[in-house]
Amino acid sequence: MTKGYYTLLEDRIGVSVRGAEARGFLQALVTQDLIGGPTGISYAALLNAQGRLEHDFFVYPQDDGVLLECDAVRGERLAATLARYRLRREIVIDYAPLRVVAAWGDEVPAVFQNLWADPRPLPGVYRNIIFQPSDLNELTALEKADFKFYHRLCIGRKIPCGGRDIAWGEDTAADIGLDRLNGVSYAKGCYLGQELTSRMHHRGLAKKGLYAVRIAGEALPAFTDIVTPEGDLIGEMRSHEGDLGLAVLRHDQLSAAARMGIVPMTDGDS
| 171 contacts 52 by C-beta, under 8 angstroms | yes
Residue 185 to residue 188: CA distance in whole angstroms: 6
Closest CA relative to residue 80, chosen from 64, 99, 94: 94
Residue 123 to residue 125: CA distance in whole angstroms: 6
| 119 contacts 42 by C-beta, under 8 angstroms | yes
Closest CA relative to residue 115, chosen from 138, 96, 93: 138
The alpha carbon dihedral of 68, 69, 70, 76 has a sign of positive
Look at residue 1 in the predicted model and tell me its pLDDT: 47
- Label each residue of 204-250 as H, E or C: CCCCEEEEEEEECCCCCCCCCEEECCCCCEEEEEEEEECCEEEEEEE
pTM for this structure? 0.94
Q: Could you tell me whether strands 5-9 and 143-144 are parallel, antiparallel, or unpaired per DSSP bridges?
A: parallel
DSSP 199: H
DSSP 52: B
Closest CA relative to residue 57, chosen from 181, 169, 149: 181
Residue 59 to residue 2: CA distance in whole angstroms: 28
% of the chain surpassing 70 pLDDT: 98
166-197-199 Cα angle (round to 5): 145
pLDDT in tens, 198-246: 999 988 889 999 999 999 999 999 999 999 999 999 999 999 999 999 9
Domains of the chain, first to last: 5-156 (3.30.1360.120), 207-265 (2.40.30)
Q: Return per-residue pLDDT of the chain as tens, 270 residues.
A: 458 999 999 999 999 999 999 999 999 999 999 998 878 899 999 999 999 999 999 999 999 999 999 999 999 999 999 999 999 899 999 998 899 999 998 888 877 777 899 999 999 999 988 877 777 887 888 999 999 999 999 999 999 999 999 999 999 999 999 999 999 999 998 999 999 999 999 888 899 999 999 999 999 999 999 999 999 999 999 999 999 999 999 999 999 999 999 999 986 454
